[in-house]
Structure 1
Amino acid sequence: MAETPLQMTIRLYRKLKRRGHKVRTWSDYFEGKHPLLFASPEFSTQTGDLFDGFSDNWCRTIVHATAERLRPLAFRLADGSIDKAAGRAWKRSGCHVEANLALLEALISGRSYALVWKPDGVHTEITFEKSTTAIVEYVPGRRRLRAAGLKVWTDHDLEFATLFTPTMVYRWQRPRRDGGQWTGRTAGLSRGQPSHIPNPLRVVPLVELPNLVRLGASPVSELAPVIPLQNSINALWVHAMTASDERALPARVVLGMDRPVREIIDPDTGEVVGEEDEPLAKFRSDRLLWLERQGASIAEFSAADLRGFLDLITQAVEHVAAQTRTPAIYLNKKLINIPESAVSADESGLVAKAYEKQDHFGAGLQEVMRLEALAAGEPDRAESLSMGSVVWRDPHFRTEVQYADSLVKLKGIGVPDEALWERIPGVTHDEIERWKRMRTDQAAAILGGDLAALYGPKPTEGEQGSAEPVPEVA
């Protein structure tokens, strides 16, 4: 029997909720909320909650090292030209900011989503969703053909869900309390508007942006290989701090002498009724001690050497760098007397990983802009976008001198100015268009004989007449 839209909604909703535990764990580690693991029960009993909330958080550094090298700038059509309409739609929806957050979320949670829709029926809007609020299902045997998509959210005492299929959009709601039944949506809809409507795009408008590592495998967080090492680093630090607190200073001990005692006097009779141990805290604070027994002496225990802990922590951090292809300079910041070639070699693994991520995420972003073109009623542009590519910021981080040297050499072998400008970090295609107009204006001024226009505005007639005459030289 075929699955009904309501049954599909319930099934996808349950699948989405099952995913939530793992996503929350990855998110907590990114935020530095780490449980203290790899410590013995005896250690936990002694320290109690002393180290609750402590973490030496390398997870955030690992994720940001990749995320900061993923910056989509524009979209090319099949003929290699920049799609200006896609650029306007991208900026109109705030994607130049939101997309960076979506890619960061995908690196943390394994995936994020983009939704292309016309909420008012007129203007196309692109929004990005977390992996805990959206899910996409694919046609069996087809890894890229979307069969359905579900988006959920809450508002006060109601929970909402929208199921997207290629032909219909089903809109549901239910009370949050006691897990009520899903019914057709009425909240937020005008009177007489149906809960379920046809899908004008004729395709599922929810697109997954997966952080892939294997063919056919589920998307996974960048933090998956880091978490065990992060736990070991935290455990080593708390052991080092505990040892530092107890044994960081030399300890002295008195040998051959009884423990100091003091008499207990009855306050009523004034007679000595016993004796008790003298608190040693006073001797520590006064730094005074009387050795009255013959043969008494003082010995000393050396302070604990904590370098073993620090060496282990350094080794664990190096393992984090190796397993995530993160440059060592990101983690230890030792840049003294290191040549530029060595820095570039150290970053080569991260740069290669960034290129891989650009391919994976780029396919999803191309599909998003293809849907935007379909929603705008431009099927030819949509087809051209599907055969085009995403323009990304160069994942190499170089100095201005290195970039200038590289661009001059490329210019020397005949690379056009526009292609060189695109290689400058942070330069948008709007700026490139402005530079083209400025170059055209300069050429027109030269051909027109107006060389002064190249150096700024000329003075007006009034300003020329008010100039004081130059005195004649006798």
Structure 2
Amino acid sequence: MAETPLQMTERLYGKLQRRRPNAEKWSRAYEGDRPLLFVSPEFSTQTGGLFDEFSDNWCAVVPDATVERLMPLGFRLEDGSIDKDAGKAWRRSECDVEIGLALLEALITGRSYALVWNNSSGVEITFQHASGAIVEYVPGRRRLRKAGLMTWKDHDTEFATLFTPTMVYRWQRPTREGGRWTGRTAGLSRGEPSHIPNPLGVVPLVELPNRSRLHGKPRSEIATVLPLQDAVNTLWAHLMTASDGLALPARAVLGMDRPVREILDPETGEVVGEEDLPLDKFRSDRLLWLEKQGAQIAEFSAANLDNYLRVIAVAVEHIAAQTRTPPSYLAGKLVNVSPDGFAASEAGLIAKVSEMHRHFGSALREVMRLEALAQGEARRAESLALGSVVWRDPQFRSDAQYSDALVKLKSIGVPDEALWERIPGVTPDEIERWKTMRTDAAGAILGGNVAELFGPKPGSSEDDDQADDDASEEPFVGAA
């Protein structure tokens, strides 16, 4: 029996609900919101909630170091030319800003989503969080989307939109317990039905997965960091606890009774007992009288906190190795590192980001293909599907290094346009402007403006007039 649209909506919504706790877990870890783990019950009892707000957060450093090198600059068609229309649509939807947020969420939670839709103001591209969207694929077809669901809440009403290749089903329900999905009523006053045909003919919701496998779910970049992150937090808690009580040498009085004071009866004034004196006063005043013969002071050495720091340093090194994050991001310092050594330290991150260019690039090509379809340009959509994404160079170099590399490439005949594309942050629009400026400069030389650039041509009338003026001038007579 075929599944109804409402049944599909409820099934995908249930699947999305099961995913949400995991997405929230990674999001909280990125924010540094982690409980203190790997500690004994006795330690927890002793410290209480002292370290609840503390986190030496490496879970943010790893995805941040990656996403800052994931910057798409433009889209190429099948013939290798830049698609200017795609670039305009990209900026019109402010994707040049939003894509950084979408890719960061994909690195944190394992996936994010892009929606392409043609509304009253034109084609719009928006990005969705993993907790509010889900895509289902045709069994056995990892890239062919069967359906997509988007959900959101507004006050006491929850909304859902189910996308299929043929129809778009729009639902709503009250957020109270047991509320059932019904057709959306928000647009009925404007004559809009609850469910409408899908003009694109494909599911317009595209998944941006991170590190997908042939058999397995997309993976968060924080997955390998989190166990070591918890261990580092625990080590810091132990270190700070030790520094509070054991960082200074401890002194003890040997061979002397504990200081006491007498307890007097308030009515008779007679001694009825004694009690120990609190030692806080002695500690604060740093004074003590030894009145018993044979009493002496003993000193115990302070705890060596370097052991904690060495273990923490090793844990951070493991984070760097497992996530291919350069030590410069984690250690925070560089001392006498040569350019070649620095480049070698970033080789792992560059390789990882270059691999992500392929996977995220495939999803972004599909997004722009849908944008072209929404514009009614099927031929451009097909060309975009076979094209590529122009990414910023993921390797950071100094201006001198870039200049030296470009000069060497120029010497072997690499065209100017190809060299310009290698300059970090240069967009296809800027390259087009440079080409126009170069053409205008060449036209000024070849278009009859030689006189303005190099002076009058020999034998011209302007040259003759200048010669007459020179002859009329009185010759210079030097000193005798």
Question: 2-side partners of 1:149 and 1:135: how far apart?
Answer: 6
Secondary structure of residue in 2 paired with 1:288:
coil
1:304-335, CA deviations, whole angstroms, 9 ceiling, x for partnerless residues? Answer: 10111101100101001111011111100231
* 1:397 counterpart = 2:430: no
AA aligned to 2:95 is C
Pair 1:40-2:35 in alignment = no
What does 1:208-287 correspond to in 2, within 5 Å? 208-287=207-286
Partner of 2:147: 148
Q: Which amino acid aligns with 1:44?
A: S
Percent sequence identity is 70
How big is the shift at 1:451?
Answer: 7.2
Equivalent pair of 2:76/2:389 in contact (CA under 8 Å):
yes
Is the 8 Å Cα contact of residues 115 and 127 (structure 1) preserved in structure 2? yes
Task: Indicate conservation of the 8 Å contact 2:147/2:162, yes or no.
Answer: yes
Could you give the per-residue CA deviations for residues 50-109 of structure 1, whole angstroms, max 9, x where no partner exists?
111110000100011111110000000000000000000111011101111111110001
1:467 alignment counterpart: none
Q: Distance in 1 between matches of 2:211 and 2:329?
A: 24
- Residue 161 of structure 2 corresponds to 162
| Contact 2:187 2:194 (8 Å CA) reproduced | no
Which residue in the other structure is 1:369 paired with?
368
Q: Are 1:89 and 2:89 matched, yes or no?
A: yes
Instruction: Identify the residue that residue 104 of structure 1 maps to in structure 2.
Output: 104
Q: Helix, strand or coil: the match of 2:27? A: helix
Match of 1:317 in 2: 316
SS at match of 1:127: strand
| Counterpart AA for 2:315 | A
**Which stretches of structure 1, 4 residues or longer, exceed 4 Å deviation after superposition?**
450-454
C-alpha distance in structure 2 between counterparts of 1:184 and 1:451, whole Å: 76
Larger radius of gyration, structure 1 or 2? Answer: 2
Partner residue, 2:114: 114
CA 1:179–1:407 in structure 2 vs 1: closer, same or farther (change >3 Å)? farther
Query: For residues 175-215 of structure 1, what are the alpha-carbon distances to aligned partners after superposition, in whole Å with 9 as ceiling and x for unaligned?
Result: 11123111111114443321111111111111110002422
- Per the alignment, in what secondary structure is the counterpart of residue 102 of structure 1? helix
Alignment partner, residue 449 of structure 1: 449
- Measure, in 2, the Cα distance between the counterparts of 1:419 and 1:318: 38
Which structure 2 residues correspond to residues 294-443 of structure 1 after superposition, within 5 A? 294-443=293-442
Report if aligned partners of 2:187, 2:193 keep a CA contact under 8 Å in 1: no
Structure 2 partner of 1:191: 190
Of the structure 1 ranges 283-292 and 399-408, higher mean CA displacement relative to structure 2 is found in 283-292
User: How far did residue 445 of structure 1 move?
Assistant: 2.2
Structure 2 runs not aligned, ≥5 long: 455-473
- For the 8 Å contact 1:445–1:451, the answer to whether it is kept is no
Deviation string, structure 1 residues 152-171 (Cα, Å, up to 9, x no partner): 11111111111111111111
What residue number does 2:28 align with? 28
CA-based RMSD: 1.6
Give distance in 1, aligned partners of 2:453 and 2:368. 41
- Please tell me the residue identity of whatever aligns with 1:12: L
Compute the displacement of 1:267 (Å): 3.3
How far the C-alpha of 1:265 sits from its partner, in A, is 2.7
- 2:49 matched to which residue of 1? 49
Write the deviation string for residues 365-399 of structure 1: whole angstroms up to 9, x where unpaired.
00000011111111110111011000000010111
Query: What is the total number of aligned residue pairs between the two structures?
Result: 456
- Residue type at the aligned position of 1:73: L
CA shift, 1:433, in A, is: 1.3
TM normalised by structure 1 equals 0.94
Unaligned runs of 5+ in 1: 455-471
8 Å CA contact 2:71–2:100 kept in 1: the answer is: yes
Secondary structure in 1 matching 2:266? coil
Q: 1:289-309 CA distances to partner (integer Å, 9 max, x unpaired)?
A: 111111111000111101111
Q: What residue number does 1:466 align with?
A: none
Aligned equivalent of 1:465: none
> Structure 2 counterpart of 1:17, which letter?
Q
